[in-house]
Structure 1
Amino acid sequence: MGQLNLNIKERMEHYQVTGLSVSLIHNGEISMVENYGLQAADTLKKVDNESIFAACSISKFATAMLVMKLVEQGILELDEDVNKKLISWKVPSNNFTEKKCVTLRNLLSHQSGIIDPEESFMELDINDRVPTMVELLAGKTRYCKHPIEVEYEPESDFQYSDAGFCIVQLLIEDVTGKRFEEVMEALILQPLQMTNSTFALRNQDTLGEDVSYGHNYNENLLESSYPIYPYPAASGLWTTSKDLSQIVLELINALKNKSKLGISVGKANELIRSQGCKEWTGLGVFLDGSDKELEISSLGWGAGFQSMLVAFPWKGTGIVIMTNTDLGVHQMKGIIGELYHSFN
């Protein structure tokens, strides 16, 4: 598992992928980082170890790790009603919350009863200001046009939800009194030395020279060059494949009682065990297999970018694949899937 058996350059040409970065984890260490193509089409700027990509929904894995850190500190509790600590907005009570409340556990496992409204949580229009979490959850912006409320009994079903992670973000901000990006920087990114990662990319003024531009499936630049999602906990991470591997390594090390973040073996196990009504759902990650063959995964897909993170935490192996091209098909049906199968 320490190498890839694939002609990556040829497959990139086949799929019309502009830029790609891949990192392999073997024996609990990064064994390889390889980069291909360009940060932006029609330029000479090559992808390298410092090239930053939009991780999109892989952000949820990082958010789950942050929650576990805050749980270890006694600031949050996985199974407490989130309304007990939410200050600036509350989950509305209704018939569905009479028997079961909304908790961090069911929010992180997409089983909270929250369903995203249609046509919601798209990328930010560069002409708009960044909406607040309260505005979003109250349904007062075009990024979430309807107020968020519980629409089925918590833990009775699975509904993938960005809104759920917006609630997680607001809870973290309410209990710490700090912006989510600041808490993430202090408790996750800095301790793991993820120096080429940020949740704070908000406008073109913060665009650095190492940030890749997004492309569609025929290698054309997006009109806005790169997408910004104003929901950091759900989809706001910009990072490199090498940096993203550090979160995987932190989970692997935590399971061995060697966490850099102070996450206990017990809390690390909570992340990767089946939750609620779906055996394939962990906390911020998805699961396949069992025992020492357990595989965890997290996928990111947004305007101009696709990525995937897969790890076998008990084996100490994993792969992180990031591209600056939206192929218009599921990751497993494109070059990311081919890389995964080559690794696996």
Structure 2
Amino acid sequence: MELNISMDERMKFYNVSGLSIALIGNGQISTAEGFGVLESGTNNRVSNHSIFHACSISKFITSMLVLKLIELGMLDLDEDINNRLTSWKVPTNEFTLDKKVTLRTLLSHQSGIIDPEGSFGEFDSTQGIPTMVELLEGKTAYCKEAIQVQYEPGSDFQYSDAGFCIIQQLIEDASGRPFEVMVTEHIFRPLNMNNSTFVVQYISEVINDDFSCGHNKNGHVVDSKYPIYPFPAAAGLWSTPSDLAILVVELMNSLQGRSNLGLSQSKAKEFITSQGCKEWTGLGVFLDGAEQELKISSLGWGVGFQCMLVAYPYKGTGAVIMTNADLGVHQLQGIIGEIFNSLTL
């Protein structure tokens, strides 16, 4: 696969300062390349090691961690999550009488949880870092209403950051360890994803020349420079296209019984199988097509950044595109979509 596009010209057209891409072919990374700069007005060039905010692609990593912990017997896909939650419980109400909230419904955004309007915004230094319990209880500016089930689990789809905050708390309660430690131990370290981190709360301590600043649609650096979201499992990941492509390749290998993480073929297949009431929803990824033409995707969009992960797991092809620009339009309507449409995957 080749990039059949004039990247410098298109980046100038869209006011995109920096962009990085990794392509997957024949089940392995075939291309990794950076373009532009990490911060407008500087000569800090984007490289293969440049780290971008992955925003909601965090959910893809979190979902893979859940599969691993299920394989270890630490979690269960279909049991009532209140059985293992200790720090906080999903409040019972009329919607949970017959159907309970499970990891399956949380991962597929069909748990009955609806994010309160205006919730889950960017980190505010005056508010500090919330615990997940504080957030779920509606005691922070990031989520001012207590989270509760608002429709029968499995009966509808509502994209939810709160659902992944619940997953984070479940992982911490079940393991007795911080979420970031569990990701590092079970995902990053075994796969040598050395340019990925969830330690966003302390970004000032980990920031280095490899980190990209965020930019608005006019190409200007955003006020916070390195925007963060203080709910790691939902939107806290900083990573590179190459690192994310490593995880995509791991999923492809798992489907062939060659997992490096110890994931079974059955769990890998379930990960990319339609769930519940929506055929286009897997366990933390979105689906399109079927059989050999099945396409999975995960999108990230936050202050100053946009990115997209797309793969055809049975064909062994895919692409991860990350930019340090929020163009204000859906990824497919901007430079990411133009690049993706130019590829033959």
Give the TM-score category using the shorter length: over 0.9
3-state DSSP of counterpart to 2:180:
helix
Residue pairs, 1:99-178, within 5 angstroms = 99-178=98-177
TM-score, normalising length from structure 1? 0.99
Q: CA deviation at 1:127?
A: 3.3
Q: CA deviation at 1:20?
A: 0.1
Q: CA deviation at 1:9?
A: 1.1
Contact 1:116–1:161, Cα closer than 8 Å, also in 2: yes
Q: CA deviation at 1:333?
A: 0.3
Contact 2:154–2:276, Cα closer than 8 Å, also in 1: yes
Matched with 2:88 is 89
Matched with 1:309 is 309
Matched with 1:199 is 198
Greater mean deviation of Cα atoms: 44-53 or 122-131: 122-131
Task: Tell me if 1:254 matches 2:254.
Answer: yes
3-state DSSP of counterpart to 1:75:
coil
Greater mean deviation of Cα atoms: 75-84 or 195-204: 195-204
Find the aligned partners of 2:268 and 2:157 in 1 and give their Cα distance: 22
The alignment of Structure 1 onto Structure 2 pairs a total of residues equal to: 343
3-state DSSP of counterpart to 2:187:
helix
The amino acid across from 2:333 in the alignment is K
Task: Tell me if 1:279 matches 2:285.
Answer: no
* Cα deviation code 1:290-325 (max 9, x no counterpart): 011000000000000000000000000000000000
Contact 2:200–2:230, Cα closer than 8 Å, also in 1: no
3-state DSSP of counterpart to 1:242:
helix
Q: CA deviation at 1:88?
A: 0.2
Task: Tell me if 1:217 matches 2:217.
Answer: yes
3-state DSSP of counterpart to 1:117:
coil
* Cα deviation code 1:71-124 (max 9, x no counterpart): 000110000000000000000000000010000000000000000001100110
Contact 2:200–2:232, Cα closer than 8 Å, also in 1: no
Matched with 2:5 is 6
Find the aligned partners of 1:128 and 1:253 in 2 and give their Cα distance: 43
Find the aligned partners of 2:144 and 2:319 in 1 and give their Cα distance: 37
Matched with 2:30 is 31
Matched with 2:293 is 293
Q: CA deviation at 1:126?
A: 2.8
Find the aligned partners of 2:79 and 2:343 in 1 and give their Cα distance: 40
Contact 2:198–2:232, Cα closer than 8 Å, also in 1: yes
3-state DSSP of counterpart to 1:32:
strand
The amino acid across from 1:134 in the alignment is V
Q: CA deviation at 1:7?
A: 1.0
Q: CA deviation at 1:339?
A: 0.9
Q: CA deviation at 1:201?
A: 2.0
Percent identity between matched residues is 61
Q: CA deviation at 1:128?
A: 3.1
3-state DSSP of counterpart to 1:202:
helix
TM-score, normalising length from structure 2? 0.98
* Cα deviation code 1:138-184 (max 9, x no counterpart): 00001000000000000100000000000000000001111100000
Contact 2:95–2:153, Cα closer than 8 Å, also in 1: yes
RMSD of aligned C-alpha atoms? Answer: 0.7
Matched with 1:233 is 233
Contact 2:244–2:320, Cα closer than 8 Å, also in 1: yes
- Structure 2, unaligned stretches of length 5 or more? none
Matched with 2:189 is 190
The amino acid across from 1:32 in the alignment is T
3-state DSSP of counterpart to 2:201:
coil
